[in-house]
Structure 1
Amino acid sequence: MKQRIRRGMKVIVVGAGLAGLTAAVKLKEMGAKVSLIEARDRVGGRVLTIRGAFALEQHAEVGGDFIDEGQQEITRLVEEQGLSLRSILRKGFAFVPNPGPGRRRRHILTGEKARDTLAHPLYPLVTAYRTADKRWDSPIAAQLARQSVAQWLDEVKADSTMRAVARSLRGFFLADPEELSLLALVDQLAGDVPGQAAMYRIEGGNDRLPLALAEHLGEDLRLNSVVRAVCQDRNSVRLTVETANGQEVSLQGAYAVLAVPATTLRSIHMQPPLPSLQARAIRSLKYGRTTKALLQFDKSFWRKKGRPRACGTDAPTGAFWDANEEQAGEVGILTLMAGGQASEDTQKIVAQRGVEGLVDALDWLGSRSATLVHSRIVTWEDDPWAQGGYAYFDPHFDPHLREWLARPHGRIVFAGEHTSVNWQGYMNGAVESGLRASEEVCAMVSG
């Protein structure tokens, strides 16, 4: 890449998830002297591949999992790092309603039929939203935003199937119908349908991408370092950083990129303070409760001809999908993705009955025909540096504020999946935001 920033100009990036790593590497390529600060003892943030815990050296994703067709930014970055993608879950997602205890067979709806259950009654609202160019600062968006999905379901006198499909979307939005703004659902239906485009994982594990990016930074990457304050004046930024041994050090640069979730951003002291609207946007943004369970069995009982390997469900254990169909071996790993209230429900099942309680909940799928070999469970709301899976928009979030999540503040620019308009909640959104942040710094230097 051609040098576009005065060589040696210091830029400090906070957060070594995909957003921060992407920004740091691109800024370094532009000629900047980069320091990347990360609170964890590893890179990747909410991209976390579990290795060494499963038989036959299999691995699975307990964080960011899917790369969708059309997500050009992350696809290009994967190629640039010499990595490759593997096609997965070719039949996409279906929907399985929870019939309650004691029923062995379940009716399975195709993803298209499940989508239409909500898309048809929402068509007038989706059409109106499109006429406003899907702008979040429009009166149409404001009206949609004030209503929850649950309130809309009551308004249209939704039947049990509609309500079950809507609740199953907590495996995608990480929020129940009572928590989710109707605007978020309409916005999704006005674009791509979740789980229906071709999906991919990175060959060998998604963590290979953040690890590859980190190699470009060497000693410019500092782990176990927590940013406590960011101060700026007309000429520079100064960060107060707490090191692993509890000491505070000061770092100075020309610009800073804050690539951390809003949950973490809220605890960083800013001087001068953020504009009131920006502070309000960051303060009011919610993050979804998420428990992800990886269950390895001695045989992949869910892999049957004609049956989808990924399903949304309104069951207490959430959505499920094949976690490693692209890997060799008769043993296989099944992912349970419990978003919203299902996260708490899943934790209760494990607390009361152990992991076997999750296995029993999959009896209808044939879990009793296999033996559980290994398991790993992660609850993201318990992670101090994430405090949730990813962002979602509830009825209390003012849609006019969304643009403020990504708006620069003096010499500080912001990145992270929550700042992405097109791919919020996705790994691609994180990468996209990191690219944007690097270009914004470059533009500030040039301007």
Structure 2
Amino acid sequence: MTAGSAAMYQAMTTMGLAAESGYKGRIKLEGDPKGATVLILGAGLAGMTAALELRQAGYKVKILEYNNRAGGRNWTVRGGDTFSELGGGKQTCEFEEGLYVNLGPWRIPYHHNGLLDYCKRLGVKLEPFQQINHNAFLHSSTAFGGKPQRVRDIKTDFQGHTSELLAKVTQKGKLEGDVTKEDQEMLLEALKSWGALDKDYAYAKGLTSAEYRGYEKDPGGGLGAAPVPGDPIGLSDILKSKLWGSLANFALYEFQTTMFQPVGGMGKVGEAFAKEVGDLITFNAKVTKIDQDEKGVTVTYEDTTKPGAVQEASADWCICTIPLTILSQIEVKVSGAMQAAIAAVPYASSVKVGLQFKRRFWEEDDLIFGGVSYTDLPITQISYPSTGFNTTGKGVLLGCYTWNGPNSYEFTALSPQDRVKRAVEYGSQIHPQYKDEFENGVSWAWHRSPYTLGCAGDWTEEARQEHYGNLCQLDGRIMLAGEHASYIPAWQEGAILSALNAIGRLHKRVLQG
């Protein structure tokens, strides 16, 4: 996520990670399904979206869910929660009341219209999520003596230096033939404003640049109140540090202002859906077999609280939202093409660590109110809470969020407790207060999650071309849905849109008789 912006955005678009939401408004399933029954596998957002809309359209719906809670990856952990990873890593969260960490999704782009609409319909209150904070840090362990730099300084100085260079080229007439003389004059004025250049089109220490990058000494009141400008960082130093690569995280379409978060944690979304369809859910249901014939679908499952107790559930149709990593290990009676599609998609590795501290030192000492700091250390980033600003008491940071690659695999291999320990050690290189202020923490490695075995579908362009259409087809009486069956994988919007598309096509098929 800290690669060059152009290359990263192209890669994300190719894999469907930067695609725009295709939500066109609330679905209307018109026509009488005549008592048709639908069995939904999985009570994540895709499964519960399908259940909510199908029941309203007159279908008889039942959901089987592996966990003892609804929401799936939509999951907020609070004090008192107990959970276990594969391999026996059991944890009990010790956060103070009111504090939480989102170990699954944690932010909502403003253009994820489907999710936002369901939040509105279900009464989920939202508040702004701070993605960009100019006062947060960009950190390289090999640049500036390991000292973190403010986002504002790197962004403003890089922009200023490049504006000065372009202004010099423009003044020398090097753009003749590409830009008209009139446009060159306007370009110079634009560069002066955009790049904080002085009257000589130079980016230099002074009050002009200080209005953008801040001051060495801020303006005050009374005697000695005059501001003192700071020294800009040299262009060569910025280039060699490679910190400019992290600026893409504030410019990409997915992360642009305004982003949102539910008040009280992302889990509030799953809880709101469960309030509507919770009576349809059978919890602790581990699916072991999915069979179908020309008349319907039969699913075999076990109650995880009573191992060995085999049960069956049948319906006319089935919407399966089980992650492909799990589904590929279950006996499923579908076509060879769909079997190949299920087996073709690996899942991304991701690890999150939540850390509770005695006080909100990032606000009190560093004046960082929300936002994200990025680093080349294995923790990758630190996200500061976007709520409870300027209050006393304890606070929780997202102290590590890895996504694929060596760092993610390294953290996955550690015990939950060792991940927390490492996150504190690495984080203290950015915030020295860590070691004195840290109290407790939790972590989650998604490849050790028993119900997902990974974070999200990790499509390649080649795999999409060959398998995506087959994955999304109505195969007999079975249809798949979930973020993996979308062009917005890893986002809740992808799960919702996939479910809406699936039930829309299923409904047409049912009405055909």
Q: Smaller-chain TM-score range?
A: 0.7 to 0.9
Alignment-derived partner of residue 444 in structure 1: 509
Alignment-derived partner of residue 402 in structure 2: 338
SS in 1 for 2:361: coil
SS in 2 for 1:389: coil
**Which digits, 9 at most, give the CA deviation of each residue in 1:411-441, with x for residues without a partner?**
11111111111x2210111122222222122
**Which digits, 9 at most, give the CA deviation of each residue in 1:194-217, with x for residues without a partner?**
423421111122212222222223
Cα distance in structure 1, aligned partners of 2:138 and 2:39: 47
Note if 1:44 corresponds to 2:106.
no
Residues 133 and 369, structure 2, Cα contact 8 Å, conserved in 1: no
Amino acid at match of 2:309: Q
Alignment-derived partner of residue 221 in structure 1: 281
Cα distance in structure 2, aligned partners of 1:35 and 1:313: 46
Q: 1:419 to 1:346 in 2, by over 3 A?
A: same
Residues 323 and 333, structure 1, Cα contact 8 Å, conserved in 2: yes
Amino acid at match of 1:62: L
Shift of 1:306: 7.0
Unaligned runs of 5+ in 1: 118-158, 173-188
**Which digits, 9 at most, give the CA deviation of each residue in 1:122-174, with x for residues without a partner?**
xxxxxxxxxxxxxxxxxxxxxxxxxxxxxxxxxxxxx97669949x99xx9xx
Unaligned runs of 5+ in 2: 1-27, 80-93, 160-238
Note if 1:63 corresponds to 2:124.
no
**Which digits, 9 at most, give the CA deviation of each residue in 1:289-337, with x for residues without a partner?**
1110001112223334478721343321122211453576542211120
Alignment-derived partner of residue 435 in structure 1: 500
Q: 1:385 to 1:218 in 2, by over 3 A?
A: closer
Q: 1:310 to 1:90 in 2, by over 3 A?
A: closer
**Which digits, 9 at most, give the CA deviation of each residue in 1:246-267, with x for residues without a partner?**
2222221111000121111112
Shift of 1:16: 0.7
Residues 420 and 442, structure 2, Cα contact 8 Å, conserved in 1: no
Alignment-derived partner of residue 98 in structure 1: 140
Note if 1:382 corresponds to 2:432.
no
Alignment-derived partner of residue 425 in structure 2: 360
Shift of 1:374: 2.3
The correspondence of residues 43-442 of structure 1 with structure 2, limited to 5 A, is 43-52=70-79, 53-89=94-130, 91=132, 96-100=138-142, 103-107=145-149, 165=245, 193-244=253-304, 245=306, 246-271=308-333, 273-276=334-337, 278-303=338-363, 304-305=366-367, 309-326=371-388, 329-335=392-398, 336-340=400-404, 341-346=406-411, 355-368=420-433, 370-394=436-460, 397=463, 399-421=465-487, 423-442=488-507
Q: TM-score, normalised by structure 2?
A: 0.66
- Picking from 35, 44, 47, the partner of 1:17 is 44
Alignment-derived partner of residue 6 in structure 1: 33
Q: 1:20 to 1:355 in 2, by over 3 A?
A: same
**Which digits, 9 at most, give the CA deviation of each residue in 1:59-101, with x for residues without a partner?**
2211111111110000000111111111011526988353249
Cα distance in structure 1, aligned partners of 2:492 and 2:362: 27
Residues 412 and 447, structure 2, Cα contact 8 Å, conserved in 1: no
Q: 1:354 to 1:50 in 2, by over 3 A?
A: closer
User: Which protein has the larger Cα radius of gyration, Structure 1 or Structure 2?
Assistant: 2
SS in 1 for 2:447: helix
Q: 1:306 to 1:294 in 2, by over 3 A?
A: closer
Amino acid at match of 1:376: V
Cα distance in structure 2, aligned partners of 1:281 and 1:233: 21
> What is the aligned length?
381
Amino acid at match of 2:336: P
Residues 371 and 385, structure 2, Cα contact 8 Å, conserved in 1: no
Cα distance in structure 1, aligned partners of 2:360 and 2:370: 13
SS in 2 for 1:45: coil
SS in 2 for 1:6: coil
Residues 29 and 504, structure 2, Cα contact 8 Å, conserved in 1: no
Amino acid at match of 1:275: G
Cα distance in structure 1, aligned partners of 2:472 and 2:385: 33
Residues 140 and 146, structure 2, Cα contact 8 Å, conserved in 1: no
SS in 1 for 2:467: helix
Q: Which moved more, 1:241-250 or 1:284-293?
A: 241-250
Q: 1:230 to 1:320 in 2, by over 3 A?
A: same
SS in 2 for 1:40: coil
SS in 2 for 1:397: helix
Residues 301 and 367, structure 1, Cα contact 8 Å, conserved in 2: no
Cα distance in structure 2, aligned partners of 1:252 and 1:323: 45
Residues 109 and 256, structure 2, Cα contact 8 Å, conserved in 1: no
* CA RMSD between the two structures: 3.3
Residues 55 and 373, structure 1, Cα contact 8 Å, conserved in 2: no
Q: Which moved more, 1:371-380 or 1:347-356?
A: 347-356
Residues 302 and 309, structure 1, Cα contact 8 Å, conserved in 2: no
SS in 2 for 1:13: strand
Residues 165 and 313, structure 1, Cα contact 8 Å, conserved in 2: no
Cα distance in structure 2, aligned partners of 1:11 and 1:92: 46
Shift of 1:42: 1.2
Residues 143 and 241, structure 2, Cα contact 8 Å, conserved in 1: no
SS in 1 for 2:463: coil
Residues 33 and 511, structure 2, Cα contact 8 Å, conserved in 1: no
SS in 2 for 1:391: coil
Shift of 1:275: 3.1
Alignment-derived partner of residue 208 in structure 2: none
Cα distance in structure 2, aligned partners of 1:71 and 1:218: 24
Cα distance in structure 2, aligned partners of 1:22 and 1:284: 26
Residues 413 and 440, structure 1, Cα contact 8 Å, conserved in 2: no
Q: Which moved more, 1:221-230 or 1:96-105?
A: 96-105
Cα distance in structure 2, aligned partners of 1:353 and 1:102: 29
Cα distance in structure 2, aligned partners of 1:404 and 1:333: 43
